[in-house]
Amino acid sequence: MYPSVPKRVAPTHDIPVCNLQMRGYLPQQLDFFADFARRAAFHMGMPCSGTVPLPTQTSRWTVIRSPFVHKKSQENFERKTHKRLLQIKDAHPDVVERWLRYLTMNAPAGIGMRATKMEFESLGKK
């Protein structure tokens, strides 16, 4: 059995390199995959923030049950989209790219990911 909290690598300079936003309709599946991503980041030697829950997006709509005589009979539907955020700090861009590729290959159905990578250039003389 896994320990309740995944191990973490301490950041050295605390510079964010990548933000990974995950979306899904099932919060248990989303939390499980966020835990998987944190453990993968630990084993690749990348400092990773804790899982940050973002606001849940709720969308509601009403559909008419019968289009003709029973037009007043309607049905209501609701869908909640849960979001989680992971932030990677102080990691090499190639390692971050490999981590994102690994997560994309092992993502379960129903989980969407959006990665925002930050790139830094060195200040050199002209």
CATH code, domain with 47: 3.30.70.600
Asked if residue 102 is part of any domain, the answer here is: yes
Range of the domain at 97: 16-54+83-117
Q: pTM here?
A: 0.82
pLDDT on residue 99: 95
CA distances from 12 to 15, 64, 83, 88, 98 (A): 8, 58, 28, 12, 21
The model's pLDDT over 45-82, given as tens digits with 9 standing for 90+, comes to 999 988 999 999 999 999 988 877 777 888 999 999 99
Asked if residue 77 is part of any domain, the answer here is: no
Asked if residue 4 is part of any domain, the answer here is: no
Asked if residue 5 is part of any domain, the answer here is: no
Beta bridge partners of 75: 63
Asked if residue 96 is part of any domain, the answer here is: yes
Domain count, the chain: 1
pLDDT on residue 87: 94
Q: Taking all residues of the chain, what is their mean pLDDT, rounded to a whole number?
A: 89
